Each structure stands twice: as structure tokens, then as C-alpha cells.
Chains A and B, each alone.
Chain A
């Protein structure tokens, strides 16, 4: 029997993988992937928790919104990455550190 707990464990695992990718990878695209992973973990949770709202399916609705938003933000982020690459000839976020004083 697959319970809510199993969903949550999978989701947490996904989230952690995403987090790890964001923190550890030196490639902006990979980081974007990591972000997607974390978003998916959140979506999974939304879907899983929607069992407490069977009438409105609000979980599923939010998941759909989130997917759309994620796609949009990824598009924007990829555009930034592309621009960063043009400017710095790298997409390693560690090397793009001009914000520091």
C-alpha cells in the first residue's frame, strides 16, 4: 500500500537531489535542472496532499500552475544563462562573482 508518507519521502529525496545539484554543480544549466527537480518535488507534494481536498482538486490545479510557471522561469533563466555566457564566456556561477565588493 502506497501511503502519503511514501510520496513525501520520494518528494524529499527529489528535493534533496535538486538542492544538491544547485549547490554543488558548476554549470548554470545543471543548476537550472536542479531547480526543476526541486520544483517537481514541490509539485509531487502538492499532488500528494490533494487527497485531503478531493472536491476541488486544488492540489492538481496548483501543480499545473507551477509547471507552467517553472517552464516560463526556466525559459527566462536560460536566456540569462545565454547572456552570461556571451559576456563571460562561462556559465560557471562561481566565476561570475562581480557582485562581491
Chain B
């Protein structure tokens, strides 16, 4: 199993490992030794992640479109099964490796300024742990390790969401995030176990690599048959399920994967944790809940893609499309700046999942990469805005929510750099030409139409739904921009003498914004700004016939969607700047549905969570009264038996004895009565006896 790698490959592997381990080293240093009250930890972590990025770039240059490396080492054996630990570097993993480190660098720099000094150490300890887990997640080759880092990523996200742990809302949110992710985790675990039981290996390469086991297994007559090439364990006495198991379990494994993806990538029905996760520091939201961790679900789909059959892919497409649409409708009415972005993230992740479902594998990953940049950018912009609003709030001692966009407005003059960066990010999000978003998103839209061609009318809902979602995206993005940056500063309208000392901040703020803005434009991905097929990233994953542009969709869809977007954006302008009433009134059902996030969260909290808690309470009652009650009953019965036998002992066994004694005593007492002490009485008695004797004698 373990084959020695050639020297150059070994070197590459070491680079990749170093890129993964460096943040961990930073984590250890910060955890163990760093002082609690300096900015030192921040620079340690930043330095580590910067070096990781350089190493990742080197690894990327050696792997991308050239080869794949799979190196592994025995980790432990359990029973007959050896469990290996190793790395699998292919296009997908090196892309993720590079992407995560490149996005992490600006976020780290930004954070050094964003996080207060006394919280610095703790923050960067967690952040480095996250970077380590995320980087390890993308390179590992074994399902056990994949699961381990999958969950560690969730754990570090838990720590970071609850970073301000004295805030109740933050700790509620991190608990929710972890539990939601746990649902996904057990899905993944179930899937892993099923695959292990079926194929007897945890090795991702053996399972999903080229000519992997998944390609050779079939479902026949309701039985899921593993490939015939499986060699039974060498001594031949353990042959489990080699004849195949019911095909239901293939679907269970799929469901497990879907749950995992839905939890991590915040898809319906497990998406509700992500908006709440915005309780964490904004820089965390930028890195974890926009760019990297939430993309892990898509990454997982990319890794295990070969195991899905057509039905399952269709389900994925529907889930993705529905989530994208639902999240977009919710984003329309939210007032919390970060919540809007969170729902927009959910929506965009829906695109990626849907893209996986419609066989647009490469577009999905392409969108993942572009989205990581522009969404991270948007969050960092939001961070600047919130930071400044917080500043205003503290300076003027106001009681406002610094994240509420209703208090903002007209900030484009105060925060010019942020404004420009934010507009770039928003345009990329909407998918305007010349941005990276255009390239990746239009690819998905076009392919969704091609996919729906030749299928039943039901499937046509998917491309049209996603088109509609694009228009909604344009609307909420425009709303965000107009509310925050245009018009007048609304707080000033309410409180005329409020002090405003706001600026873009130092280079730690502006540099990451500029860097990410540049990354959100087309040149990073493609020389041709309008044809997604020419993007190098797309080509890295596409099948060989990617150049075919036979359908008319390639022309119609981008033009149509852009015209629609412009129109919608203008509509938003009309609504919010010119203040014309062209939307649903705020009392309508549709508005409330959107504002309350489709009542899903309320449903979960009131129905499901409540049900589980009540079930727990009921079972505790059962435990106390029924299970323990039975024991008590047993005790009672024993006690009663004991009482009964005590009674028997006292009244029957002992009673007999007492009766004898009492009889004797009664007889004695009877005769004692004759002892009156009167002589005459004795005489009389004597006489009576004598008489009696005589009478008896006479009678006999």
C-alpha cells in the first residue's frame, strides 16, 4: 500500500505538509507561550499563514494540471484494517490549499488591526487552529482524517463564533452552529461507515480517485455491489457483505453526504446557523463563514463526486436551487448588514451545490474560488463599516445596533476606499461583466439551461429559478449599496448633533480591501472577460470538450441576465433613493415571510429543539418513575413480603407458642382463684369435691 514517492514528489508533499502545519505551529506558540497582552500573537499567525500561502503557491505550481501526488503513512491498524494518514494532492486540493491561504492572508492582516489588543492572543490562537484544520481538510487522503478535520473546522468555527463569550447571543449562536454542524457530521460519519463497510478502505484515492472503487461498483436488482476487484482479507475468514448490501444504503450514504454538505455549506434545511454565526467578529465571518469553511461542503462534493448517480445529482440540483432562491428572498428584507451578506452567502453556496448537481463540476469550483474572494471582500468592507458605526455609537453614547443599515447612508464620501471595494464586490456578486463573478456565475446559468434541455418540464424550474435568484441578488445588493453608501446619513436625521469621525482606517484595513478587490476582477482568472470557458481555473476541471459553444444559451443568458440586473438595480434605486413605493408593503404576507426568514428558524426552535428537550424530560420522567419506579416497586414488594413474613412470624409461629403459654397461664389463674385465703371456703371446696366424688361414684 505504502509506496515510496519519487524525490521531487516527496519534496512537494513536504511543502504541502509545511503549508498545513505552519498555522498549527502558530497555534501552539500562541496557546502555550505568547503573552496575553500584545499584538505579537497576531503577527505570529499572520507570518505563519503568509509562509503557508507561499508554500501553497509553490505546491500549486507543481501540481496544477500536471500530476497528482498521493503519499501516505500507516497511522494505526484496527483489527485487520490498516488506517493510513496521508495527503492527496490533485487539482482540487491544491486549488483549495492556495485559495484558503491566499484569502486567509488579507484577513489575518485585517484582523491585526480589527481585534483589540487584550483579545488578540485568544483570537489568533483560534484563527490559526482554524487555518490548520481547513488546510488539513483539503489535503488529507483518508476519510477518517477528512472527518476529523471536517469536525475540527466546525470546532474552531464554534470557538470563533463564540469569541465574545460573555454575549448571550454569541454563545447561543455558536451552540447552534456546532449542533447543526454535528447533524452534518453524523451524516458524514454514516456515509464514511457505509463506504467502509462496503469497500473496506478509508482511502479517498482508492475510492474516488481515477479508476477508484466507486466507478466499478454497481446497483443491480436492489443490491449495491462493491467492485469485483476487492480482494478479501488475506486469511480469508472475514468476508462481510461481499455479496453486496441493499441499495437503500447507497441512498443513505448519499443522504449522509447531503446532510454534511448542507450543514457545512449552510444549505436548506440546515442553513439557519450561518446567519446567527454572524455574532462572531466580522473578520471571522469573512474568512470562515464566507470564503473557506462554508465552501468545505462544495469541496466535499468535489471529492466524493463519483459516488452520485443521476437521481442523486438531481436532488442536489434542486436543493441548491431552492436554497439559492430562498436565501435571496430573505436577503431582500433584512436590516442587519452582516445578515444580508450571510444570506447572500447561503444563496451563492446554493449556486455551487446546484452546479454540482447539474454536472457543472468545474463551474461549481470556479464559482467557489471567485466567490471566496468577493464575499470575503464584502465582509471586510462590512467590518470597516460596522467598526466605524461602533465608533460613532461609543463616541456619542448612543443605543443603536451598529450593524443596522437603516442607521447608515451616505457613507461613500466618508469611506471612499471601502465604498469602491464594496461596489466591486457587489458587482462581482451580481455577476457584472469584467468581474470574476460574471465568469463563474454565468457559466453555471448557461449550463443549467443546457442541463434542463431534453428533460421534463419540472426540471425547467431549476434554470428559471436560478435566473430569478440572480435578479433578486441584483436587488438586494443594490438595496445594500444604496442604503449604506447613498443618500444622507440617517442617524444625522434622527440626531442632528451627532459627531462623525470616521475614516477608512489604516493600511491593515485598506491593503486587504484593495488586494481582494483586484482579485474580484476578471484578469486573475481569465484573459477573456466574457467567456468563462477560457478561464484557467475552469479548464483545470473541465472535460476535454469544454470549448463547445453549440447552444444559443451562451449568448442569450449573459445578455439577458445583465439587462435584467441593471433594470432591477435601477428599480432599487427608484425605491430607496427616489423613495417611490414600488415594492411589497411591509405588512404583506410576503414581506413578513421574507423578514422572518421563512419562519424556518422559529420552526426549528419551537418544534424540533423543543420536542427533543421535551422528549429528554419525558424520558427522565420515565427513568425516575417507570424504570426506577419498577425498582422501587420491587423494593416495595420485597418490603411487603418481608412485612408479611414478619407478621407470620409474629402472629402465627410465635403466636402458637404464646397460645400455649397463655392457656397454661389461664388454667393457673383459674385455680389460683380458689386460693381466697378463707378457711371456710377451703372447707367448702373440700366438701364440694368430696360430694362430687361421691356423686360421680354413684352415677358410675
Q: Which residues of A contact B (CB under 8 A)?
A: 19, 22-24, 31, 93-94, 96-101
Contacts and interface: CB of A to CB of B under 8 A. Distances in A.
B77 interface: no
A23 B675 contact: no
B582 interface: no
Given A99-B675, A100-B675, A94 B680 contact: yes
A100 B680 contact: no
A20 B237 CA distance: 119
9 contacts: A22-B680, A22-B683, A23-B680, A31-B680, A93-B679, A97-B676, A99-B677, A101-B672, A101-B675
Contacts of A93: 678-680
B657 interface: no
Q: How large is the interface on B (under 10, 10 to 19, 20 to 34, 35 or more residues)?
A: 10 to 19
B290 to A, nearest CB: 110
Q: Which 7 A-B pairs have the closest CB atoms?
A: A97-B677, A100-B677, A99-B677, A93-B679, A100-B675, A94-B678, A97-B678
Nearest to A31: B680
A23 B683 contact: yes
A93 B677 CA distance: 9
B687 interface: yes
B684 interface: yes
Contact of A98 (B672, B677, B687): B677
A31 B678 CA distance: 13
Interface in B650-700: 672, 675-680, 683-684, 687
Contacts of A100: 675-678
A97 to B, nearest CB: 3
A23 B680 CA distance: 5
Contacts of A24: 680
A11 B230 CA distance: 138
Contacts of B684: 23
A23 B672 CA distance: 21
A75 to B, nearest CB: 19
B687 A19 contact: yes
Contacts of B672: 101
Contacts of A101: 672, 675
Taking each of B672, B676, B679, B683, which has the highest tally of chain A beta carbons within 10 Å of its own beta carbon? B679
State the majority secondary structure of interface residues on A.
loop
Q: Main SS of the interface on chain B?
A: helix
Interface string B120-134: 000000000000000
A53 to B, nearest CB: 28
A98 B675 CA distance: 10
A9 B57 CA distance: 158
Contacts of B677: 96-100
B688 to A, nearest CB: 11
A94 B681 CA distance: 8
Interface string B612-636: 0000000000000000000000000
A99 B195 CA distance: 108
Contacts of B680: 22-24, 31, 93-94
Contacts of A97: 676-678
Contacts of B683: 22-23
Contacts of A98: 677
A99 to B, nearest CB: 4
Contacts of B675: 99-101
A25 to B, nearest CB: 8
A19 B683 CA distance: 10
A31 B681 CA distance: 13
A22 B679 CA distance: 10
B674 to A, nearest CB: 9
Contacts of B687: 19, 23
Contacts of A23: 680, 683-684, 687
A99 B678 CA distance: 8
A24 B684 CA distance: 10
Contacts of B678: 93-94, 97, 100
A23 B683 CA distance: 7
A1 B358 CA distance: 162
Contacts of B679: 93, 96
Interface string B202-233: 00000000000000000000000000000000
Contacts of A31: 680
A62 B521 CA distance: 166
Given A31-B680, A97-B677, A99-B675, 5 more contacts: A22-B680, A22-B683, A94-B680, A99-B677, A100-B675
B72 to A, nearest CB: 108
B694 to A, nearest CB: 14
Contacts of A22: 680, 683
A31 B683 CA distance: 12
Nearest to A100: B677
A17 to B, nearest CB: 15
Contacts of B676: 97, 100
- Of B676, B680, B683, the most chain A CB neighbours within 10 A belong to B680
A30 to B, nearest CB: 11
Nearest to B676: A100
A94 to B, nearest CB: 5
Nearest to A25: B680
Contacts of A99: 675, 677
A97 B683 CA distance: 14
A97 B675 CA distance: 9
B632 to A, nearest CB: 56
A36 to B, nearest CB: 16
A97 B678 CA distance: 5
A100 B672 CA distance: 9
Nearest to B684: A23
A35 B678 CA distance: 17
Nearest to B682: A99
A101 B669 CA distance: 11
A23 B691 CA distance: 15
A100 B675 CA distance: 5
A96 B672 CA distance: 18
A19 B677 CA distance: 19
A96 B684 CA distance: 16
